[in-house]
Structure 1
């Protein structure tokens, strides 16, 4: 288990608890009371730390190396029913953007999301979760297929942004993202968006237009990362904590600004602390969101979606 800097008091207590229990196992000394006291203190410390997280600490949690990624959620939720589909039918298959058909219960969904890697090799293979234009075109192809067969779409967002390389720009990165945004506003099937990690810039927006937009508790959604914002405004990454505060990028901020519809609570300690519980919470949230949309006609879906996004933001003449 890896610990972030602000989690070090938890790490110390966890180590004390494990040592005390080990002493009890290896000797005749009764340490049950000591173990219980440490366990209670550990639980209190966790509650105290996680209920007072700063925006920057939530950003750190969203990037935790043990946090589950898109394929983890899909495989846990859908089991063997998931069938991955590949390619944009124009250039190639983008490994940073995955998608395919899967079931939750008896209902089929088209799942689409960014996938990060678990180690150096897989991070390079997945391009660190940064999709190229062909990734967004693959996502659009799958959405159009879902629309053709009346299958609801679920997108899982976890990206530091769309890939900013020269070759991506040459192949029309901006156009691919803009087209996805336009096409998603008028897709005639329910779209449920779930932010499971980082939701940065156009990389997130390219699969982020939905009838219901949900965020896990320790995720962020913003036009720019705190580090990049800090480097632009202060010419240094040292002010990333102030930038995170100013950007209003947490789930609570997004809900307050009416940019998302629901916050999905995470287990104490973050999604990685109890993955099975997190998968269940996400599956339940998707099912609940779909039930609220399934009886709407295609025309009603599009009208409500258009209205939802038209009302975002405040204009003062």
Structure 2
């Protein structure tokens, strides 16, 4: 069953009518409705094209959060072979919002780490909706250390509203864990590439995405705060999230212009949720290309280039 966003209501109506016609034909074999159904399909395709031709930042936020978009587990299962999950931070617990382990990408040994939001109500609760606790970041640090020790490239998949802000997380040193994860990203001497596959929220995303190369899916978002949070702080009104989304410049297109990210990965028409396989394939091609181009650099060069990238961040936009 297709899940539709609020702004997709006109599309839902047309596609619903086409499906109703086909359901009637299945119930009555004498009915021939294919011509009418195809006409509705054509109309729906045009509506879809028009809706996604020039999405506002707020609509991009909605698409980035779409429940049917492929999540971290989907990418790992489709792109990587010999995936061996590694659990726990060897200190407190295993955070299910963060998954990672050793794997192979096109026969290249890699360490893959990512946020996992979950696929249904039960798994979303188990995964804490992709919001990592301190033990999640400390698990990521442990895996990055392991990758650095064995000279294995690191791939991170970003999809989180932000780090979990609960009392227990703060008591266990949430800010310190995020800072140390970010520091570890800067210090590893192996290629580190990141892809924002949905939401890239706040320090919870930066802790995984302080990388040599950062890519974003076309309709993903990456920001210091959610539009709702920003609106609540600036205007004391979460309903002003549309204005906040405009001001935050959180789209892949804005961030590429600013030099915050290095590339945009195109999504199928209608977003990643419309063709999950094509999206996953495109992300795999981009990751392989980024890792391959970094493979020839020495450890010192990788660290130097990564630090320089983040020290210079924003200068491209300021110069413009």
Pairwise TM-score range, normalised by the shorter structure: over 0.9
Within 2, Cα distance between the matches of 1:188 and 1:68?
30
**C-alpha contact (below 8 Å) 2:70/2:280 kept by paired residues:** no
1:120-159 matches, within 5 Å, as 120-159=121-160
Structure 1 position 30, deviation (Å): 4.1
The equivalent residue for 2:17 is 16
Q: What secondary structure is seen at the aligned counterpart in 1 of 2:209?
A: coil
Within 2, Cα distance between the matches of 1:223 and 1:203?
9
1:151-300 matches, within 5 Å, as 151-300=152-301
The equivalent residue for 1:49 is 51
The equivalent residue for 2:65 is 63
The equivalent residue for 1:308 is 309
After superposition, give the CA deviation of every residue in 1:294-316 in whole Å (9 maximum; x if it has no partner). 11111111111111111112489
Unmatched runs of 5 consecutive residues or more in structure 2: none
Structure 1 position 123, deviation (Å): 2.0
Q: What secondary structure is seen at the aligned counterpart in 2 of 1:194?
A: strand
**C-alpha contact (below 8 Å) 2:249/2:255 kept by paired residues:** yes
The two structures, once aligned, show a CA RMSD in angstroms of: 1.5
Within 2, Cα distance between the matches of 1:24 and 1:172?
60
Q: Equivalent of 1:73, from 52, 70, 75?
A: 75
**C-alpha contact (below 8 Å) 2:159/2:196 kept by paired residues:** yes
Structure 1-normalised TM-score? 0.95
The equivalent residue for 1:107 is 108
Within 1, Cα distance between the matches of 2:120 and 2:30?
43
Structure 2-normalised TM-score? 0.94
Within 1, Cα distance between the matches of 2:133 and 2:182?
16
After superposition, give the CA deviation of every residue in 1:121-178 in whole Å (9 maximum; x if it has no partner). 2222112211111111110110110011111000011111111122212211111111
Matched pairs, number: 315
More displaced, 120-129 or 142-151? 120-129
Q: What secondary structure is seen at the aligned counterpart in 2 of 1:102?
A: strand
Within 1, Cα distance between the matches of 2:19 and 2:126?
37
The equivalent residue for 1:35 is 37
Within 2, Cα distance between the matches of 1:135 and 1:22?
47
Structure 1 position 27, deviation (Å): 4.4
Structure 1 position 8, deviation (Å): 0.9
Unmatched runs of 5 consecutive residues or more in structure 1: none
Within 1, Cα distance between the matches of 2:248 and 2:266?
21
Within 1, Cα distance between the matches of 2:3 and 2:42?
21
Structure 1 position 246, deviation (Å): 0.7
Q: What secondary structure is seen at the aligned counterpart in 1 of 2:195?
A: strand
